[in-house]
């Protein structure tokens, strides 16, 4: 009986050694270059405007951070996505009697540095 136990243990150890062989995995993906380009001016007239922003992210993801206090007058056509995309930032008319500003943060995946675009709206 002892010899059967030894054989079973020996077979188990051999099986375990064979199954733990290192696998050849594909290389980790590399991040695509990330850039944000404002197509038209970042100075917004008091009457309001739409600004087109080109996001270049290759096949990687991205998302926007818009300050919550500005969401009543500043909105984006899309706040997250992946790949290259043109989005529209819409600014409602400024009837406050004072200039206002917003800084929108464009966050790429892969821990790449974020890019901030600031917009100033006159009154």
**Is 17 within a domain?**
no
- Which tops the pLDDT comparison, 5 or 119? 119
Q: CATH number, domain at 48?
A: 2.60.40.10
Alpha-carbon distances of 105 from 13, 32, 62, 74, 115, rounded to whole Å: 55, 18, 10, 13, 6
Helical (H) or strand (E) element with 55: strand 49-56
**Is 78 within a domain?**
yes
> pTM of this prediction?
0.74
Paired tokens of 52: 């087109």
Exposure letters 38-51 (e unless 16+ CB within 10 A, then b): eeeeeebebeebeb
**Tens digit of pLDDT for each residue in 37-91?**
998 776 899 999 999 999 999 989 999 999 999 999 999 999 999 999 999 999 9
The count of domains in the chain is 1
Give the domain range for residue 113.
35-121
**Tens digit of pLDDT for each residue in 15-36?**
877 776 677 888 878 888 999 9
pLDDT mean across residues, the chain: 90
């Amino acid at each position: 009986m002892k010899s059967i136990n030894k054989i079973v243990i020996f077979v188990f150890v051999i099986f375990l050694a064979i199954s733990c062989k290192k696998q050849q995995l594909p290389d980790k993906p590399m991040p695509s270059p990330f850039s944000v380009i404002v197509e038209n001016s970042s100075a917004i007239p008091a009457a309001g405007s739409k600004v087109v922003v080109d996001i270049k992210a290759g096949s990687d993801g991205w998302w926007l951070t818009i300050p919550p206090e500005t969401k009543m007058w500043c909105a984006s056509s899309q706040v997250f996505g992946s790949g290259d995309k043109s989005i529209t930032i819409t600014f409602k008319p400024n009837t406050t009697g004072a200039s206002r500003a917003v800084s929108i943060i464009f966050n790429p995946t892969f821990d790449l540095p974020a890019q901030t675009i600031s917009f100033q709206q006159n009154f």
